[in-house]
Amino acid sequence: MPNTPETPDHTPEEVQTTKIVAGQKPARNNKAKTKQPRTQKRRTLEISIAVGIAAVIIAGAATATIAANSNNNSSNNQPAQAADELKELKLGYFGNVTHALPVVGVQQGFYAKELKNTELKTQVFNAGPAAVEALNAGAIDAAYLGPNPAINSYVKSKGASISIVAGAASGGAQLVVKPEINNAQDLKNKVLATPQLGGTQDVALRNWLADNGLKVSTNGGNDVTINPTDNAQTLKLFQEGKLDGAWLPEPWASRLVLQAGAKVLVDEKDLWKDGQFPTTILIVNKTFLNEHPAAVKALLSAQLNTQDWLAANQDQAIKAVNDGLKQAAGATLPDEVLQRALANLTFTADPIATSYPALLANGVKAGVTQDADLNGIFDLRLLNEVLKERNKPAISAGSLGQS
């Protein structure tokens, strides 16, 4: 993949990350467990939105209603409203292992603890472009998703739509294929899937194929057919022999390998320096960020609390993720699938800002965005306030925003 980014030379003390090894018990000096969460209400929210050139209908996702608060003031020069004065905050995320921080954090009650009297409504999505459209339409206020849809929204709005306020996960994306496929040329005239056109895995696949001499224009006439497909449907189609492969986030890559006989042709970490690339980030509607910084800070605190809890309770990671997946997506996963998926991921609040010029270039090359100046896409000030309060090092936005 061209434009492979150079990530900063962080030491372990400079980047706050959590690597989950399922079944591993924590060190004795780790933090104690959090109290069990209060009972959470569920409701169904249906969103119908247009995404790019494809019509997307999001429906039937589980919605959790929980309480929230923060008494912290904003570092912005905008009027700050305390979280307990905000009636509701609408958060989107995916029912994926790459979204384990919100998946676990909502279910375990970490968001409830930080967001006391604000009603949190959660919406589960399948892919980033749909979440971005919902955010831009005001259906949600913040979302966990991959970096490419965030970049696309920022570029299209000329910087007015969203801010990236934190990272959430690195790694955990692979191209998995039928066993008889051994290289890129074997994919000619084959049918592949990605979660959605313009999503992070879609951009990665299109660039990798192009780098290997295969035409994958969004205008047709391609050497490889790429179908945007719901992840669950991708598994079914692959099992039925109707797909030759897919570039997927976890746990879907692991599910195709362990439950459908696929093999890994490309692990995306091998395409990036030191294996570090952003898979999941937290973005916030820019207007909401300016008007309700205390609520955003509470979200960030909840995310970091979840990360700390997972690090301190690795022997409970599989159950915690499965409990969260059941709430978010209505189903659990076999232990061996979660073990493989978690082993491929690192949970980190660092969005790996140095990777974004390459991510933008890849999106341009894939034909899903246009070249632009990304300066200002990051606003890590609230994240770094929370980290400072915990005596942890700040995370840099590089030259692309405020930190």
Structure tokens, 294? 């205390």
CATH of 17-169+276-402, one of 3.40.50.720, 3.40.190.10, 3.30.390.30, 3.30.70.20: 3.40.190.10
Cα dist from 53 to 196, 197, 219, 362, whole Å:
11, 9, 11, 19
Please state, in angstroms and rounded to a whole number, the distance separating the CA atoms of residues 381 and 36: 30
Q: Across 79-141, where does the E strand assignment appear?
A: 88-94, 119-125
What residue spans in the chain does CATH classification 3.40.190.10 cover? 17-169+276-402, 173-274
Please state, in angstroms and rounded to a whole number, the distance separating the CA atoms of residues 60 and 114: 27
> Considering the domain 173-274 in this protein, what is its CATH number?
3.40.190.10
pLDDT for the residue 55: 36
Read off the DSSP letter of residue 34: P
**What is the residue-level pLDDT of the chain in tens, covering all 403 positions?**
444 433 333 333 344 566 554 444 444 444 434 444 443 433 333 333 333 333 333 333 333 333 333 333 333 444 344 555 899 999 999 999 999 999 999 999 999 889 988 989 999 998 899 999 999 999 999 999 999 999 999 999 999 999 999 999 999 999 999 999 999 999 999 999 999 999 999 999 999 999 999 998 777 778 999 999 999 999 999 999 999 999 999 999 999 999 999 999 999 999 998 889 999 999 999 999 999 999 999 999 999 999 999 999 989 999 999 999 999 988 999 999 999 999 999 999 999 999 999 999 999 998 888 999 999 999 999 999 999 999 999 999 999 999 9
Beta strand 378-379 with 345-348 is: unpaired
pLDDT for the residue 20: 59
Q: Which of 215, 217, 263, 262 is nearest to 237 (CA)?
A: 262
State yes or no: cis peptide before 251, omega within 30 of 0.
yes
Taking residue 182's Cβ as centre, other Cβ atoms within 10 Å add up to 11
Helix-helix angle 252-260:335-343, to 10 degrees = 130
Please state, in angstroms and rounded to a whole number, the distance separating the CA atoms of residues 322 and 324: 5
